[in-house]
Structure formats: C-alpha cells, structure tokens
Amino acid sequence: MALAVTNAEGEKTLQLEMPVRSWIELSEERLANNFQVLRERAGSATCVLAVVKANAYGHGEEHCAIALAQAGATWFGVADVREGAAVRRALAAAGQSRAEILVMCGLLPEDVPAVTEHRLSVVVWTLDQVTALRSAAGSKLHVEIETGMGRQGVRPGAELDQLLDAISDARLVFAGLMTHFCSAEVVGSARTRQQQTEFERAVQQVHARGLRPHWVHAGASSTLNDPDWDPSWLSQLAESLNAQPMVRCGIALYGYCNPLQGGSPQIAPKLSPVMTWKTRVLDIREMLTGNCIGYDSTFVVTGPMRVALLPVGYADGLRRSLSSTNRREGGWVLIRDSRAPILGRISMNLTMVDVGAIEDVASGDEVILLGDGIDADDHARFAGTISYEILCGIRRP
C-alpha cells in the first residue's frame, strides 16, 4: 500500500508500508530530477531506458515506473515477465499504456503467453528462445551481442547469422541490437574499447544483411558517469542502421553510482538518493557499567549509557555487518538529525543504538535508517558490498 505524503522539506513523497514497524519514503521529485540528469548526459538524440528491475532496486517497481513515465520515460527495463506484467498493469492504470517494456534477462517457454498478453519486448540470444517465441509471432526482440561480459549474448559471425535467420523464419520482429559493458567503471578501459569494437562488428554484420532494427543500445549508469564516454559513438552506430540510440540506466535513477576508477564522475555529484528508510524508537533503556548489549556480549557498557531499542534487524535488510564492538565502531542511524551509533550485534528484528548525546529521545520518535546523512554507500562500506545489494535487500511486504 502506498500513501502520498509531504515531508518536512515540502517534497511530495510516496510512503510505502513495510513489515515490522518500518517504512520507506520515496521522493518523486528526486527520481524525476535524476532521470533528467541522465537525459542531459545522454544527449537529446539518445533515449534513456529506465531500469526498474529487482523491484526498482528495492524502491517499488510500480510506483517508480509511474513516476518515471510522468517525468518523460518511454522505455522501461525489467528482469522477467512477472515484473513486466506488473509494470504494464501499473502504467496502464496511470494512463501510460503506450510505454515500451523490455524483458532484459531472457525467458523460459512458460513465459511466452505473458509476452503477448502484456506487449513485452524481449532480449534474446539463443535459438531455443526464438523457437519458444514462435507461437508469439509479431513479438519484438532485442538481440544481445556477447562482446566480453561472458553472461548473455550471441557472438558475431556464424552464431549471429543463425539467430537472425531463425527470427525471420519465426515471423518475429528484430527490434533492437544491444550489448553490455563489463568494465564501465574504469575510465579509459581497454576492455570497454575491445567490447565497442566487437559490437561495431555486429552492427556491420547486421547492416550487410540489409536488416534495420529500430533501436541500437549499449551503456548503463556508469557509462554516462565516465568522463571519457562519447555519446556520438552510439549515435553513429545507430545512424548506420537508421535506428535510434538508447542507453539503459538503473542505479543512477535512484541516486547512486559505483565509484569510478581513474577519473572525475560526470553525473554522480548531480544525483540525489530517492529512498529514505525509517522506523520508530520502540523503547529506551538506561544501561549501567558492566551491562552487556546484544548476542555474545560483543559490546560491554563502560559507563552509564542511554540506549534506544529499534524494531528492525537483519531480517528487514539492516545488515548485520553494521554491528559494533567496544573495539570496532559500527554503523549509525539518525534521530533528531543526530547520529546514534549502533551498539553490539544487530539481531534479526531488533537493534540497539546509543542516544546518550541526543536530548529527550523517547519511545515513538522517528528514526532514519537510510537516507540523507547515512545512505546505501555508507551501509555498503561496512558490508563490503555495493549500494545495489543494500537497496535490493531491504525487505518489502
């Protein structure tokens, strides 16, 4: 369930219910602004596909798709047909029925009816996928070229020729040609250049066959963040096929980018986190010297301390790696705009924080678990991971 609210800064937000007495708030204004940053960087001739897979990176695929459509997005990327169906229904209900939705992570034979029912475009790279789609004649396919990611994709040459023949024989629409870069965070990457060269080879092969897909796309959030990225490279490739260029952006929509290696980021400083995750103080406890906090007594009180109990834990997505000991500082939350350090081990459903330096904290007070002042990058540093995993790991109903 979503509830439209206005936050303290006057921004319109969506408040989404969460289990176990916590919730997230989404800033539609920040989401729209992030989308505009990406459009400006991509260039006026290049379409930005808004990736809303993995429940919009934990933000809520249906709500974000609608907000992004209102901001001007016309293409949406999902992982599978279930997500595609959910996004299609949400957009149709909001009067955005003409939006295009691309299923990016392949399909199984049982997925085919949903492709037709919900007017989904599909990324393909195997003959088996094309065979499964024979019963969905007229469906739009985007062929992924394997250029070095080693994950999805058909190789240029004989494999690509066979796949394109199969698509034509099955009366399916060859709507797009695409690839994905594996080292987009490395400025001046030789690996990226090798991938570009391989993709150029595939484009030339398609051109020689007289085929003209509607779209040519490559690149993601980190690509646009790279100061060396030249948008004209993609535009020229698309122009050679009389196609439109497109980039696929996900994490940057929600206010984050992976750190660049070797250069100054182009879009990251202009982005704002969209999500704020909140809970409330459940109880206040006065702790005495020698009292222990949490499992295995990893934190021992060395002087009188005022501690707040929060009704969230690792089952909700608050990573256990934010725990602390007397010798190791952990993460923190924000109460009344002040840091409250996490004490001891985070439990499955409960967390203790130090509120001794914050005046008049009481049960029921609002707590920011993630947002301005502590974001997904902060959580990721403690967890030894990336912001993607933190955001996707927040539990939803």
The number of angstroms, rounded, from the C-alpha of 83 to the middle of its chain's C-alpha atoms is: 14
Say what the pLDDT of residue 397 is.
57
Which CATH number does 277-392 carry? 2.40.37.10
DSSP of 27-85:
EHHHHHHHHHHHHHHH-TTSEEEEE-HHHHHHT-HHHHHHHHHHTT--EEEESSHHHHH
Residue 81 CA to residue 117 CA, distance in Å, equals 10
| pLDDT by 10s per residue, the chain, length 397 | 556 666 666 777 776 655 458 999 999 999 999 999 999 999 999 999 999 999 999 999 999 999 999 999 999 999 999 999 999 999 999 999 999 999 999 999 999 999 999 999 999 999 999 999 999 999 999 999 999 999 999 999 999 999 999 999 999 999 999 999 999 999 999 999 999 999 999 999 999 999 999 999 999 999 999 999 999 999 999 999 999 999 999 999 999 999 999 999 999 999 999 999 999 999 999 999 999 999 999 999 999 999 999 999 999 999 999 999 999 999 999 999 999 999 999 999 999 999 999 999 999 999 999 999 999 999 999 999 999 999 999 987 5
Say what the pLDDT of residue 395 is.
84
Domain ranges of the chain: 28-270, 277-392
Residues classed as catalytic: 53, 295
Residue 289 CA to residue 287 CA, distance in Å, equals 7
Q: Which residues contact 322 (CB under 8 A, 6 or more apart)?
A: 330, 331, 342, 346, 379, 382, 383
- HEC profile of 214-277: CEEECCCHHHHHCCCCCHHHHHHHHHHCCCEEEEEECHHHHCCCCCCECCCCCCHHHCCCCEEE
Length of the chain: 397
Element (H, E) at 202: helix 190-208
Beta strand pairing call for 12-17 and 22-27: antiparallel
Residue 65 CA to residue 26 CA, distance in Å, equals 12
Residue 246 CA to residue 58 CA, distance in Å, equals 24
Which CATH number does 28-270 carry? 3.20.20.10
Say what the pLDDT of residue 57 is.
97
